[in-house]
């Protein structure tokens, strides 16, 4: 399936929040996210983080995926010193496993290559029982490497850094 992708605008913020809210249930997320994590679950909070002077901030780029004219997923990324960093990706539950996430990541990888970057980093989480979040399988399936590092957080979960060399 060819997935239409485009750069997000401020008008997309409510749809992005909705995509985030419908990508996983609260029960699925329990033990994997910070209790006070509200950035992608509140239109007002996301506007505060992403907006400056009534436009999306330049340091992060957000791409949305649409199906039948409706935003069903997004990916946020930024350029670091010598690599790209994927900050967040979400696809609504009903549109998962249809290639939308892969299309979003492939787009970011192509942008990175076009701009001369060779490395993309991201992360996922692992709960207190040592079980990785469901996105772990997605990332490793598309070539992102888990180098075995587990970084503690102030919450009950750990962060799992993932990296992919593009060349």
| SS3 sequence of 48-61 | HHHEECCEECCCEE
Virtual torsion, Cα 158, 49, 18, 24, nearest 10 deg: 0
Comparing C-alpha atoms, which of 57, 58, 24, 59 is closest to residue 40?
A: 24
pLDDT higher than threshold 90 for residue 45: no
CATH classification of the domain holding 141: 3.40.630.30
Could you report the per-residue pLDDT of 106-155, keeping only the tens digit for each?
999 999 999 999 999 999 999 999 999 999 999 999 999 999 999 999 88
pLDDT higher than threshold 60 for residue 38: no
Bridge partners, 70 (sequence order): 67
Mean pLDDT of the chain: 91
Q: State residue 36's pLDDT score.
A: 61
Range of 159's domain?
A: 5-165
Q: What domain count does the chain have? A: 1
Q: What is the model's pTM? A: 0.92
Question: Could you tell me the end-to-end alpha-carbon distance of the chain, in angstroms, rounded to an integer?
Answer: 26
């Amino acid at each position: 399936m060819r997935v239409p992708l485009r750069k997000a605008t401020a008008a997309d913020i409510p749809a992005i929040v909705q995509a985030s809210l419908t990508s996983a249930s609260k029960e699925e997320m329990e033990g994997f996210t910070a209790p006070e994590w509200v950035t992608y679950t509140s239109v007002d909070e996301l506007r505060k983080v992403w907006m400056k002077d009534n436009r999306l901030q330049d340091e992060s780029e957000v791409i949305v995926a649409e199906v039948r004219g409706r935003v069903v997923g997004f990916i946020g990324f930024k350029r670091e010193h010598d690599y790209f960093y994927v900050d967040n990706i979400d696809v609504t539950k009903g549109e998962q496993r249809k290639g939308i996430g892969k299309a979003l990541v492939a787009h970011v990888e192509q942008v990175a290559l076009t701009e001369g970057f060779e490395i993309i980093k991201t992360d996922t989480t692992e709960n207190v029982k040592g079980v990785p979040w469901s996105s772990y399988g997605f990332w490793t399936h598309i070539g992102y490497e888990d180098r075995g590092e587990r970084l503690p957080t102030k919450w009950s979960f750990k962060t799992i850094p993932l990296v992919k060399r593009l060349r």
